[in-house]
């Protein structure tokens, strides 16, 4: 629903209201997991608890006095409705805008609006663990010990083919492995946007524009592992090597497995004799990673956008624009078990962006300043040529520190005149009591505090110039041939890959990739027939 209301000769209002509703995703054969029953008690709990009670491990039992074996998958069409989730019915999206003529040469425009994303296009995959199965066999070997494959006549001579069980096991489906289920009550991600700016006509055919744009995103969908090891068990004393190593040794140590031999875990690692302490300390120890989603994500964007344009006259037009922006987001968890996503600079943040474009019609040929009376052949050779160019300069995106490291709190960035491919950032900011060449330079099983990105540590900035030369050859009134000569990245400016961020690598902090991430200079010729 939309309407334009002309209040008077100077003011026009734009009013609108949009309503969106989606039907839920449906898997027609009812093979997909839809939900996860957090409180379901597995039938094997009594057996597992008895075995765990007999386990002689005071350290483990100080954290986990009793083993609970809970949780179970739910299937669409069997345990829940045929839809894999419920869709919200309250997605109302109002918009209000205005345009005001302030004087003869100035226009002020603005508006606020609410915009929504989509559920279905991001939730197209289904999870069907009970409807696939893997059969593991043991290869025979020859006299020299070399493995031999089975023959086609007896492909599974020493094992039994495992048939898919479908959903017949109900909440016992997927035990011992990782599963994925749908958030049953997802929200539609929203973007609340405010924009206000003005355009002003300057002498000489110039038009100037200045705009502020603000955007707040909320209810953004985030993937989450609800079976991550709780932060309680992660090391927090990263200043001492012994503390980290002791905690890591405790968590990764093997202990007698309470699930050993249970048929429900056949074909998974949880049927083995031993199990790690960290697996037993998970919220749902009978499963691997349990992946779902929530709508805790948020984002904040602010920008000032400025543009000057010289309208086409006297054979040329020029346009230049500059954008200053700041993009913050909270859509990632530093630690899988964190209660909230961490607010940090966005991976797509580019503080500065300059864009310039120009087009110039060369003054030769019919109707131009020179050779205006040229014949057909002369005009075909020298008339109708246009020169075009586009220049883009942009700040580099933040460097992503995916690998964790010991960060001592020092300044990571270095001045641009000191930055080179051999040292892109200050690696000494990550030096700790551990030797940088040690395999322990990357902390393990500890509570991460190092952000994934820093505002001051960015990749190489983008600089690119594209040039083109065009010519139209008129054949008849409705027919013409267009020739194009284009140079992409005309000055062959390289866009460097990101630096190495693995703190255990010998080239930590360096740009070592042999190739550039943008196209090298390309020249291309094109011919187009228009009629």
pLDDT in tens, 50-70: 999 999 999 999 999 999 999
Residues of the chain with pLDDT under 50: 138-139, 432-440
d(CA 215, CA 223): 22
d(CA 270, CA 260): 7
Residues 78 and 187 in one domain: yes
Query: 308-322 as b/e, with b when 16 or more CB fall inside 10 Å?
Result: bbbeeeeeebbbeee
Residues 332 and 367 in one domain: no
Q: Which two tokens stand for residue 262?
A: 């249970």
d(CA 404, CA 426): 15
Residue 162 lies in a domain: no
Check if the beta carbon of residue 230 is closer than 8 Å to that of residue 338. no
Residues 318 and 365 in one domain: no
* Number of structural domains the chain divides into: 2
d(CA 130, CA 172): 10
Residues 292 and 375 in one domain: no
> At which of 458, 481, 510 does a domain end?
458
Q: What is the domain extent for residue 491?
A: 356-396+461-497+521-530
Residues 465 and 366 in one domain: yes
Residues 123 and 238 in one domain: yes
Q: What pLDDT does residue 70 have?
A: 97
Q: What pLDDT does residue 368 have?
A: 72
Cross-strand bridge partners of residue 467:
389, 487
Residue 12 lies in a domain: yes
Residue 78 lies in a domain: yes
d(CA 275, CA 282): 12
Residues 296 and 387 in one domain: no
Check if the beta carbon of residue 176 is closer than 8 Å to that of residue 169. no
Residues 316 and 347 in one domain: yes
Residue 508 lies in a domain: no
d(CA 62, CA 378): 94
Rounded to the nearest 5°, which phi and psi values hold at 203? -60, 155
d(CA 251, CA 229): 10
d(CA 183, CA 178): 16
Residue 26 lies in a domain: yes
Residues 388 and 478 in one domain: yes
Residue 164 lies in a domain: no
Residues 439 and 473 in one domain: no
Residue 504 lies in a domain: no
Residue 68 lies in a domain: yes
Residues 415 and 478 in one domain: no
Residues 306 and 283 in one domain: yes
User: Nearest-5° angle of CA 169, CA 174, CA 177?
Assistant: 160
Cross-strand bridge partners of residue 142:
none
């Amino acid at each position: 629903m939309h309407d334009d209301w002309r209040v008077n000769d100077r003011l026009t209002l734009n009013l609108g209201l949009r309503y969106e509703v989606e039907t839920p995703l449906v898997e027609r054969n009812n093979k997909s997991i839809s939900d996860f029953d957090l409180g379901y008690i597995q039938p094997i709990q009594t057996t597992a608890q008895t075995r765990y009670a007999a386990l002689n491990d005071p350290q483990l039992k100080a954290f986990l006095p009793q083993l609970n074996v809970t949780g179970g998958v739910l299937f669409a069409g069997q345990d829940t409705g045929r839809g894999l989730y419920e869709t919200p019915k309250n997605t109302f999206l109002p918009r209000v805008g205005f345009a005001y003529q302030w004087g003869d040469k100035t226009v002020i425009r603005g508006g606020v609006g609410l915009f929504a994303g989509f559920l279905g296009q991001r939730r197209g995959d289904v999870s069907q663990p009970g409807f696939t199965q893997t059969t593991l066999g043991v290869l025979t070997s020859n006299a020299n010990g070399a493995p031999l494959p089975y023959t086609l006549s007896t492909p599974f001579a020493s094992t039994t083919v495992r048939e898919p069980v479908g959903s017949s096991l109900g909440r016992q489906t997927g035990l011992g492995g990782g599963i994925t289920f749908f958030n049953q009550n997802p929200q539609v991600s929203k973007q609340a946007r405010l924009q206000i700016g003005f355009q002003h006509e300057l002498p000489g055919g110039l038009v100037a524009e200045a705009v502020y744009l603000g955007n707040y995103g909320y209810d953004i969908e985030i993937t989450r592992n609800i079976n991550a090891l709780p932060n309680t068990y992660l090391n927090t004393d990263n200043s001492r090597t012994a503390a980290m190593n002791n905690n890591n040794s405790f968590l990764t140590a093997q202990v007698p497995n309470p699930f050993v031999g249970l048929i429900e875990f056949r074909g998974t690692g949880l049927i083995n004799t031993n199990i790690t302490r960290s697996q037993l300390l998970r919220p749902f120890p009978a499963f691997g990673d349990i992946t779902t989603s929530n709508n805790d994500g948020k984002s904040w964007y602010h920008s000032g956008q400025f543009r000057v344009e010289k309208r086409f006259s006297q054979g040329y037009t020029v346009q230049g624009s500059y954008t200053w922006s700041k993009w913050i987001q909270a859509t990632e968890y530093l630690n899988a078990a964190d209660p909230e996503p961490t607010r940090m600079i966005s991976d797509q943040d580019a503080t500065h962006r300059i864009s310039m474009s120009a087009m110039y019609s060369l003054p030769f040929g019919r109707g131009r300043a020179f050779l205006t009376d040229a014949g057909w052949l002369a005009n075909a050779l020298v008339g109708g040529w246009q020169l075009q160019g586009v220049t883009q300069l942009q700040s580099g995106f933040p460097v992503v520190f995916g690998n964790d490291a010991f960060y001592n709190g020092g300044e990571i960035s270095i001045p641009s005149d000191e930055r080179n491919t051999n040292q892109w950032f200050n690696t000494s900011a990550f030096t700790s009591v551990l030797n940088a060449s040690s395999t322990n330079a990357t902390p393990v099983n500890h509570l991460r505090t190092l952000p994934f990105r820093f505002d001051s540590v960015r990749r190489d900035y983008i600089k690119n110039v594209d040039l083109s030369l065009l010519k139209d050859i008129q054949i008849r009134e409705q027919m013409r041939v267009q020739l194009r000569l284009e140079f992409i990245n005309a000055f062959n400016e390289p866009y460097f890959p990101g630096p190495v961020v693995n703190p255990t690598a010998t080239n930590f902090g360096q740009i070592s990739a042999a190739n550039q991430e943008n196209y090298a200079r390309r020249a291309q010729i094109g011919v187009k027939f228009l009629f």
